[in-house]
Structures are given as structure tokens and as C-alpha cells.
Amino acid sequence: MNPYILAILLFGLGLGTTITFASSHWLLAWMGLEMNTLAIIPLMAQHHHPRAVEATTKYFLTQAAAAATLLFASITNAWLTGQWEIQQITHPLPTTMITLALALKIGLAPLHAWLPEVLQGLDLTTGLILSTWQKLAPFALILQIQPSNSTTLIILGLASTLIGGWGGLNQTQLRKILAYSSIAHLGWMILILQFSPSITLLTLLTYLIMTSSTFLVFKLNKATIINTLATSWAKAPALTALTPLILLSLGGLPPLTGFMPKWLILQELTKQGLAPTATLAALSALLSLYFYLRLSYTMTLTISPNSLLGTTPWRLPSTQLTYPLAISTAMTLCLLPLTPAISALLIP
Amino acid sequence: MVYVMFMFLFGLVLGLAAVASNPSPYFAALGLVAVAGMGCGVLVGHGGSFLSLVLFLIYLGGMLVVFAYSAALAAEPYPEGWGSWPVLGVMVAYLVGVCVAAGLFWGGWYEGAWVSADEFAEFSVFRGDVGGVALMYSAGGGVLVLGAWVLLLTLFVVLELTRGLGRGALRAV
């Protein structure tokens, strides 16, 4: 793509999230979200093949519908209460509409159906932007609204973790696996929202780091299906050895970073007297763990039958920057001992 | 006057049903013209003459015309208007829905809902809608610049999406 156009689009992406972060007025927050949607559309369609255009169209339609619902809800709130402050929404009708609109924006179940198909049609870099950067602005709004209906949020959370787990079990395409993994993690984030928004923020940040690592590993291996991962041991042996740890961190196993949010969430849910909810969420994490384990199994723990030529490929220097991968992998594996410091930093 | 306003609103809902009933784009554009025209009439009747004029010029005279030309490019061999049964059926269904909703919400808040933009009518120069435009340029300057930037971004987005004529992602039919 023309570098000037790319610069303008990336600037628009950055500006959109910044505007939503900095706004206290619903209209300005909506403008930021729309700018994000608009700026990523050409990035998604840049390869100009029909699958990418289909993914772009689906993304545009769902995000535009969500933004329109958000605008409608803020106008309804302005009609009912006369003010546009983001943190002052108290009427239950606009609050519920805004929650559902933002759930459609980020891909929470039962409004998740677009995410696997959209992510499947994109290349891994754009998919990375979609899974990480595009979640920041809606979450900035989610963290600020006072949730009115406890049941809605818990249902959204549990449905997302269960659907994210079950949906990912039958996938062989890596981007769809990552989409369902995203849905499951978003479910965990929403589950704890009404009890402790700082834990939601912590979960979001750790998820961003872990999923960046995963996307970058797949990008380095140029892998979009599980079979490609099976031959990565000969191309990048050190990375192949580390990737199971990254995947298990995504699955939430101690002593890796991914355990931190799950531990804090289960603890908080139990303290609030929701032990059955916590049990159900923990059991649903087993479903996701199964497909992370499947990826580790095919990638590292076994060497699949292959021809002799597959054992000695040329190990040419990669043109991809490995510095971001190194940083995110280190953070994905080693941040658990810093749990007290991180939770202290994120409590407002 | 109330009767004229009522007729405008009636035409607006009729035009909305006409657009939503999924005819061919030619006829949907006609429905949009009707909706915008009726909406402008309602605006004029409640003091927003400047806003109504700007809406006519820019929306109907600029954007809808462009849309009509684009729809003409994507020509259908058998366009479906409101004479064909699928479209007419959907339109009748929507109008029945409107009548049901009207029956449910009849009475109550309508009488007090129409507040004028301003109350000085012929005696004031500083009308409600023109005052809003002045505010947009003064106190709302930052958001205006942001709006202009977003429009520029949209231009680049559309140009990038349609780049390549017959070889690009979105091809001319």
C-alpha cells in the first residue's frame, strides 16, 4: 500500500482510540469508535482478494450497527436525563443498550458470530491489530459505565467463555482458533466487570500481551493452519520450544502470566458469593485449554511424519522484526510474580 | 398548521416504510427523497428554516443525487417497484406494524412533545438553528476540525478501497 495512505490510516487508528480514551462526552466517544472502524477498513481489504473483501464487509456492517446502537442509546439517555456524561449514565435502558452495543463491538457471545469469519479473512498482521488495538477503545467505555443489570453481564461472560471454548475445539485454521480464544478471554473480562473493573483491565492487558505473542509466532512461521505449525521445528527450533509455554499461558496455567487474571477473577467471584459461577467459568477454561494443548502437541511435543526434505529446510534470516516477539514472549511467561505490583498499579 | 405538520409526519412514515420494504435502488432513492422532503417540512414548521434549506441543498441536492447516479450504474434488468408483490407485501406488513405501535402508544405524551426551537418567531433574528450553527463554529471549533478530518479520512478510505478499476477489490459492474 502507498506509504502515505498507510501513514494516514494508522494515524486515524491511533487518533480514534485516543479520542475515545480522552472523552467524557458520549458523542466524542462515538466519533472515536467510528474513526477506528473507518481507518481499519482499507487495511483489511488491502490484499484485494474476495475473502478479504468479504471479511471487511462483515466487519463494517457489524461495527456500524454497534456504533449506531451506541449513538441511539446515548441520545436516549440525553432525552431521559438531559446530560451526556459517560460516567453518569444511571437509567437502565440506555445502560443495557450500551452494554449490548459494546458487546457487539468487541465480539462477546451471543454477539460473537462475526469474529471468527472476519479474522479468518485477514492476514496475520491485520488480525493482530483487530484483536488487540481495536479492543482498547470499547473497553475504555465498558470500564466507565455503571452496569445496571448484574444478570446480563454474568450471562454475557459465561456464554462467551463456554462458546469460546466449545467453538474453538473443531477448528484447524489458526486464525479461527485465535478468534474463539479471544471470545473466551473477553468473557472472563466481562464476568468480573461489575465487581472489580481493575481486574477487567488487568485481564485485558495480559490478554493483549499473550495474544500478540501468539500472532507474532504464527506470523514468523507463516502458519495459518495447524499442519504448517507441525513443520516449524525444523525452521525455528528455539521458538518451537517456547511456543507451548505461550499457548499454556493463554490457557491460564500457573506459573505463567496467564494464570494471574484467572486467579484474581476466581478469588473475587468467590469473595462475592458466586462460587457456582466461578466453578463454571473455571471448567469452561478447560475447553479452551484443550485446543491450546492440541496446538502445543502438533507443534512441539510430536514430530509428524514428513518427507526427508522437510527435516532440513534452509533457515534463511527472517525479514520480520523479532524484537516485539521477544518482549511480548518474555512478558507472557514471566509476569506472574509481579501480581501484587500490577494489581496495585491498576487499582485507581 | 397542526394538520399540515401531521400530514408531513404521515408522509415521513409512509416514505420510511417505502424505503424499508426493499424495492430496487431507484425506487428506494425516491422514497428517501420523500422522507427528506417531509422531514424538511416538519423542520420548517417548527422554526428551523435554515437547517431545512441546508438539508435540501446538501443532502437531497448533493448526496442523494450522487447516490441516484451510482444506483443507475448498477442497473437491474427487472427492477422491483411497489407494484410487485414481494415489495408491496413487506410494505403493508410495516404499515400494519406502525398502526399497532400507534395503537399502543396513543395519547399521553404527544401533546406536550413538540417544543419549538425558539419562541420569538418573527421577532427574533437569532433563531434556534442559526444560533446552533454559530455555536458550532465558536465553542464547537475543535469537534468541527475533527469532523473535517474524519471526512478527509473517509475520502482516503474510499479511494483506497476502489483503487484498481477492474483489477481491484470492488469492481465496477
Identify whether residues A169 and A230 lie together within a single domain. Answer: yes
Asked, for residue A238, whether it belongs to a domain, the answer is: yes
Residue in this structure with the C-alpha cell 485481564, named with its chain if needed: A203
Highest mean pLDDT among A83-97, A176-190, B72-86, B132-146: A176-190
Nearest to B161 among A19, A31, A42 (CB): A42
Mean pLDDT score, A325-329: 96
Asked, for residue A232, whether it belongs to a domain, the answer is: yes
Identify whether residues A107 and A156 lie together within a single domain. Answer: no
Asked, for residue A315, whether it belongs to a domain, the answer is: no
- pLDDT above 50 (res A283): yes
Nearest to A42 among B146, B157, B164 (CB): B157
Identify whether residues A286 and A163 lie together within a single domain. Answer: yes
Mean pLDDT (chain A) is 93
Q: Does A12 reach chain B within 8 Å, measured CB to CB?
A: yes
Find out whether B88 and B80 touch, Cβ atoms under 8 Å: no
pLDDT of residue A5: 94
Identify whether residues A180 and A289 lie together within a single domain. Answer: yes
A144 DSSP assignment: T
pLDDT of residue B113: 57
With bands split at pLDDT 50, 70 and 90, how would you rate the model's confidence at B129?
confident
- Read off the pLDDT of residues A113-160 as tens digits, 9 standing for 90 and up: 999 999 999 999 999 999 999 999 999 999 998 777 888 899 999 999
Domain region containing A52: 1-126
Question: What's the CA gap between A45 and A204, in Å, rounded?
Answer: 27
pLDDT of residue A347: 81
Q: A8 to chain B: which residues are within 8 Å by CB?
A: 153, 156
A256 DSSP assignment: S
**Among residues A126, A141, A164, which one ends one of the domains?**
A126
Identify whether residues A195 and A337 lie together within a single domain. Answer: yes
The backbone torsions φ and ψ at residue A173, rounded to the nearest 5 degrees and listed phi first, read -85, 130
**Which segments of chain A does DSSP mark as H helices, in order?**
3-22, 26-44, 50-81, 92-106, 114-120, 124-142, 150-168, 174-191, 197-220, 226-229, 232-235, 237-251, 259-271, 275-296, 323-334, 339-346
Q: Do B161 and A45 touch (CB under 8 A)?
A: yes
Asked, for residue A138, whether it belongs to a domain, the answer is: no
**Minimum mean pLDDT range among A142-151, A256-265, A328-337, B163-172:** B163-172
Q: Which three cell numbers stand for residue B54?
A: 441546508
CA A131 to chain centre: 4
Question: What's the CA gap between A230 and A291, in Å, rounded?
Answer: 15
Identify whether residues A214 and A66 lie together within a single domain. Answer: no
ipTM of this predicted structure: 0.87
Find out whether B125 and B115 touch, Cβ atoms under 8 Å: no
Identify whether residues A220 and A113 lie together within a single domain. Answer: no
- Total domains in chain A come to 2
pLDDT of residue A3: 94
Mean pLDDT score, B151-160: 93
Find out whether A141 and A29 touch, Cβ atoms under 8 Å: yes
- Read off the pLDDT of residues B83-112 as tens digits, 9 standing for 90 and up: 888 889 999 999 999 999 888 877 765 555
Q: Which residue of A has its CA nearest to B155?
A: A38
Q: Which helix (H) or strand (E) holds B13?
A: helix B2-20
Question: What's the CA gap between A102 and A63, in Å, rounded?
Answer: 9
pLDDT of residue B122: 62
Asked, for residue A141, whether it belongs to a domain, the answer is: no
Q: Do B150 and A42 touch (CB under 8 A)?
A: no
Mean pLDDT score, A24-49: 94
Asked, for residue A73, whether it belongs to a domain, the answer is: yes
CB neighbours of residue A55 within 10 Å: 22
With bands split at pLDDT 50, 70 and 90, how would you rate the model's confidence at A302?
very high
Identify whether residues A153 and A118 lie together within a single domain. Answer: no
pLDDT of residue B164: 73
pLDDT of residue A26: 95
Mean pLDDT score, A295-321: 88
Alpha-carbon dihedral angle through residues A126, A72, A185, A258, given to the nearest 10 degrees? 90
- Read off the pLDDT of residues A192-225 as tens digits, 9 standing for 90 and up: 999 999 999 999 999 999 999 999 999 999 999 9
The backbone torsions φ and ψ at residue A225, rounded to the nearest 5 degrees and listed phi first, read -130, 165
Find out whether A325 and A333 touch, Cβ atoms under 8 Å: no
| Separation in Å, CA B65 to CA A205, B19, B33 | 47, 16, 10
- pLDDT above 60 (res B118): no
Asked, for residue A142, whether it belongs to a domain, the answer is: no
Q: Do B154 and A38 touch (CB under 8 A)?
A: yes
Nearest-CA neighbor of A223 among A189, A177, A257, A268? A177
Q: Do B169 and A53 touch (CB under 8 A)?
A: yes
Identify whether residues A187 and A86 lie together within a single domain. Answer: no
Find out whether A105 and A33 touch, Cβ atoms under 8 Å: yes
Q: Is A346 helix (H, G, I), strand (E, B) or coil?
A: helix
Asked, for residue A206, whether it belongs to a domain, the answer is: yes
Identify whether residues A192 and A97 lie together within a single domain. Answer: no
Cβ burial of A49 (10 Å; 0-12, 13-18, 19+) is exposed
Pick from A13, A17, A48, A84 the residue to mutate for testing the B interface (most B CBs within 10 Å): A48
Q: B143 to chain A: which residues are within 8 Å by CB?
A: 27-28, 31
The backbone torsions φ and ψ at residue B48, rounded to the nearest 5 degrees and listed phi first, read -105, 65
Predicted TM-score of the model (pTM) = 0.88
Question: What's the CA gap between A202 and A345, in Å, rounded?
Answer: 10
Question: What's the CA gap between A46 and A56, in Å, rounded?
Answer: 10
pLDDT of residue B173: 45
Identify whether residues A198 and A300 lie together within a single domain. Answer: yes
Highest mean pLDDT among A27-36, B3-12, B64-73: A27-36
Q: Higher pLDDT residue, A1 or A281?
A: A281
Q: Which three cell numbers stand for residue A25?
A: 462526552
B163, amino acid identity: R
Q: Which three cell numbers stand for residue B163?
A: 483503487
Highest mean pLDDT among A266-270, A319-323, B86-90: A266-270
Find out whether A53 and B170 touch, Cβ atoms under 8 Å: yes
Identify whether residues A176 and A63 lie together within a single domain. Answer: no
CA A183 to chain centre: 7
Q: Is B40 helix (H, G, I), strand (E, B) or coil?
A: helix
Find out whether A83 and A163 touch, Cβ atoms under 8 Å: no
Which residues pair with residue A25 across a beta bridge?
A: A85
Q: Which three cell numbers stand for residue A175?
A: 486464525
Question: What's the CA gap between A256 and A226, in Å, rounded?
Answer: 23
Angle at A245 between CA A242 and CA A246, to 5 degrees: 90
- pLDDT above 70 (res B74): yes
- Read off the pLDDT of residues A220-239 as tens digits, 9 standing for 90 and up: 999 999 999 998 998 889 99
Question: What's the CA gap between A160 and A281, in Å, rounded?
Answer: 10
CB pairs under 8 A between A and B: 43
